[in-house]
Amino acid sequence: MNFLKELRKVKDESHRFVDYVTNQLIGYARYMVDNGASVISIADPTATGEILGPRMFGDYAVVYINKLVDAIHEMGVPVIVHICGRMQAVTHHIANLHADAISVDALVSLKKLKEAYPQLTTMGNLSTFLLEFGEEPNIQRGTEQLIQDEINILAPACGLSTSTPLSNIQTFTGAAKAV
C-alpha cells in the first residue's frame, strides 16, 4: 500500500523505479527466450482498475507493460497479458496494450470486451474456482459458453490450483476439443 501511495506522491522516483523493474523483466524475458520460450505470459495482479484506478493504470501499467511487450516482440516472441480483477474503470485502456492476446479474470465478460474491441485476441476465462471445485456438467457448460461467445483462446481465468482435479481439466479440454 505504501508503494501505491508513492505512485501519486513521488511520480518521478516511482517512474524510475518501475522503469528499472521493467528493464529487469526484459532481461528475464531474454533469458527465457534464449532458453526456448516460444510465448511469454505476463500476469499482472496489481495493475487493475480496482487498485490503480484509470489514471494510474494509463500512466503506469499501460506504459510499462507496453515497454516489456515491445521488447519481447523485438525478440520475435508473442505475448499474452493477463489483468486480474474487475476492469470497468480501465477497460478503455485495454485496446492500448500491445499484447498479442488479452487474458482477464472470470469476473470480466470476455464477450463484452470482445464486442467493445473486436480487434483484440481474447483469452480465458473459465473460473479457476469452478475448475477446482465445480462439477463436470458446470465446467462443460462454462466451456461451451466461452466457445459460443467466440473467445479466441480457451484457458482458465487465473491459472490452475494444484488441487484442481484432473477430471475437471479433462472435462474442460474435452469440451474444447469437441467443437
**Averages of pLDDT over each 10 residues, the chain, 179 residues:** 82 93 98 98 78 86 96 98 87 93 93 93 94 96 95 92 95 90
Distance CA 62, CA 10 (A): 19
- pLDDT for the residue numbered 178: 82
The CATH number linked to 50 is 3.20.20.210
Query: Residues of 25-52 as b/e, b for ≥16 C-beta within 10 angstroms?
Result: bbeebbebbeeeeeebbbebeebbbebb
Tell me the pairing of strands 101-104 and 153-156.
Answer: unpaired
Distance CA 102, CA 83 (A): 8
- pLDDT for the residue numbered 143: 96
The answer to whether residues 96 and 62 touch, using CB atoms and an 8 Å cutoff, is: yes
- pLDDT for the residue numbered 10: 87
Q: Structural domain tally of the chain?
A: 1
- pLDDT for the residue numbered 168: 96
- pLDDT for the residue numbered 170: 96
Domain holding 94, by residue range, is 2-177
